[in-house]
Amino acid sequence: MTTIRLQNTKSRKREDFTPIDPQNVRMYVCGPTVYDRAHLGNARPVVVFDVLYRLLRHVYGPDHVTYVRNFTDVDDRINETAQKRKAAGVTGTLEELIHARSDETIAWYHADMDELGALRPNEAPRATTFVPQMIAMIADLIAKGHAYADGAGHVLFAVKSYAKYGALSGRSTDDMIAGARVEIADNKRDPMDFVLWKPSSDDLPGWDSPWGRGRPGWHIECSAMAHDLLGESFDIHGGGNDLMFPHHENEIAQSCCAAGHADDGTGFANYWLHNEMLQVEGKKMSKSLGNFFTVRDLLDQGVPGEVIRFVFLQTHYRKPMDWTAEKAEQAAATLKKWRTLTAGLEPHSEADDLVVEHLCNDLNTPSAIVQLHRLAQDVSYDKLGLRKLLTSARLLGLLQDEMGDWAASPQISENINVLIGRIMAERQQAKDLKDWGRADELRGRLIQAGVKISESKDSYTFEIGSDFDASKLEGLL
């Protein structure tokens, strides 16, 4: 069987991937907090782990891979929006308005990620539907001496009860305190202890628990959902590197202690993968810089989802990625070319070996794309390379039929085809007469109108671009 090698944050080494059960490969990825539209940075882990999901399905079979990506729908920002709607006179209880806001943003998220060609995970749990499992896990941690209630509705995890805390991020205690913006509170036994459960006032959503009406802390959500859907131990846990600490560190502590592995830190996820962050035109994306935009913003501006995906994949997932308008333009041109080359072809039964090899080498999508460019150069009679280009690109989530409308040439009347043919015939006549000025004028006007021309000594071909404007050819003949 093909060997996949992954850079494991946990060991800081590139390791051969050996699933616990090849018949049931399991992956969990931290999903969004659904308080608003997904911004461009939110989309990068979606595309990264979609490629890994596709690769796992390719190697182990679609029926032998389970992918879980959650929705965090317990959040103060969601509550704030619901409270504003209630104050504005929208009918319904606060809980109903919160649920409606979550429904709205989850639908947006699915629609936007679908546009990027991302496969839906096998499971997409909402945190609010797993609160009983969270309460049970918290109670178990208290019983095992890893958590404590403060008597005022809070439950906190006792970090010093887990000897391996900090192993994933490799941070010192001082670094962790600074990185987590730890609040020194009277109810904490140690500054590093973090909240598992907190009380809810009457104007906030809450659930009954042994510690009073309240709601879960952020970290316990993923631990409970992963345990319930994937088991005590599973194969891969992924997310952005901004989640490594404190979120993933806390997940590990909770889950290993709940499973009885406080001393050795085994169990939970065997492989941890983290993608780097995204920049825009060389700068950190922020509203203050005016370079913050959502995926929907780009889509509404006419940037196709397939183009966004292609730009992402040109940078290795463990390197910072810089989004630029120039990269988007180049990606669109490449994808249009590939779609033209593969139009009408049947996919090959197998992906190109080198493309698969690059993906198996810690998701080296940039090298895989270089190989796709090589396949696009196939001029053979049977077009084997182009058929493999089609199959291999789809392994990366590109050149899918349902994503190709943006690249389709407009329907051109026969009269336009005849006109372009006449213009090209006159250009050839001008070249024969060495009237280079006229020949260049004709070619230039065609290009301005959105006609792409390829010429050889004795022949030519042309392609009508999606930006074709017939009015720019008026009066040319």
* Closest alpha carbon to 164 in 94, 261, 47: 261
Please give the pLDDT value at position 66. 98
User: Residue 290: is its pLDDT beyond 90?
Assistant: no
Dmax (CA) for the chain in angstroms is: 96
How many CA atoms lie within 13 Å of 288's alpha carbon, on the beta-carbon side? 2
Of 176 and 73, more confident? 73
* Percentage of residues of the chain with pLDDT beyond 70: 96
CA distance 67 to 60: 13
pLDDT (average), residues 115-125: 98
pLDDT (average), residues 343-360: 96
* Closest alpha carbon to 50 in 17, 21, 27, 20: 27
With residue 170 as reference, give the H or E element that holds it.
none
Lowest mean pLDDT among 231-235, 264-268, 442-446: 264-268
Please give the pLDDT value at position 263. 83
Model confidence at 466, in pLDDT bands (50, 70, 90)?
low
* Closest alpha carbon to 195 in 262, 247, 239, 245: 247
How many CA atoms lie within 13 Å of 208's alpha carbon, on the beta-carbon side? 0
pLDDT (average), residues 213-223: 96
Of 396 and 205, more confident? 396
Taking the alpha carbons at both ends of the chain, their separation in whole angstroms is 63
CA distance 396 to 55: 8
Winning range, highest mean pLDDT, from 181-190, 391-400, 461-470: 391-400
pLDDT (average), residues 305-332: 96
Kindly list the distances between the CA atom of residue 400 and the CA atoms of 125, 307, 327, 335, in Å, as whole numbers in the listed order.
27, 12, 21, 11
Structural domains present in the chain: 5-275 (3.40.50.620), 279-407 (no CATH), 414-473 (no CATH)
Question: Is 261 annotated as contributing to ligand binding?
Answer: no
CA distance 455 to 440: 13
The percent helix, strand, coil of the chain (3-state, each to 5) is: 45, 15, 40
Question: Is 247 annotated as contributing to ligand binding?
Answer: yes
Model confidence at 425, in pLDDT bands (50, 70, 90)?
confident
Please give the pLDDT value at position 184. 54
Please give the pLDDT value at position 196. 98
User: Residue 395: is its pLDDT beyond 80?
Assistant: yes
Question: Is 357 annotated as contributing to ligand binding?
Answer: no
Model confidence at 469, in pLDDT bands (50, 70, 90)?
confident
C-alpha angle 402-404-408 in degrees, rounded to nearest 5: 140
Please give the pLDDT value at position 413. 60
Lowest mean pLDDT among 267-271, 376-380, 397-401: 376-380
Please give the pLDDT value at position 182. 54
Please give the pLDDT value at position 178. 65
With residue 477 as reference, give the H or E element that holds it.
none
- Which tens digits make up the pLDDT trace of 321-331? 999 999 999 99
Model confidence at 409, in pLDDT bands (50, 70, 90)?
low
CA distance 114 to 105: 14
323 and 279 Cβ atoms separated by less than 8 Å: yes
Q: Classify burial at 282, counting beta carbons within 10 Å of its beta carbon; exposed 0-12, middle 13-18, buried 19 or more.
A: exposed
- Which tens digits make up the pLDDT trace of 52-62? 999 999 999 99
Long-range Cβ contact pairs of 446-452 (< 8 A, separation 24 or more): 446/420, 446/473, 448/472, 449/473, 451/420
Lowest mean pLDDT among 46-50, 154-158, 339-343: 339-343
Please give the pLDDT value at position 187. 84
pLDDT (average), residues 151-161: 96
* Closest alpha carbon to 335 in 295, 303, 291: 303
CA distance 25 to 236: 9
- Which tens digits make up the pLDDT trace of 163-185? 999 999 998 777 777 655 555 56
Strand partners, 28: 68, 237
Please give the pLDDT value at position 316. 98
Question: Is 188 annotated as contributing to ligand binding?
Answer: no
Question: Is 30 annotated as contributing to ligand binding?
Answer: yes
pLDDT (average), residues 137-147: 98
pLDDT (average), residues 18-40: 96
pLDDT (average), residues 80-100: 86
Of 114 and 425, more confident? 114
Name the average pLDDT for the chain.
91
Q: What is the DSSP string of 67-81?
A: EEE-BB---HHHHHH
Kindly list the distances between the CA atom of residue 332 and the CA atoms of 84, 188, 309, 424, 465, in Å, as whole numbers in the listed order.
41, 54, 11, 26, 12
Please give the pLDDT value at position 410. 54
Of 205 and 465, more confident? 205
Model confidence at 340, in pLDDT bands (50, 70, 90)?
confident
Give CA torsion, residues 58, 60, 64, 65, to 10 deg.
Answer: -60
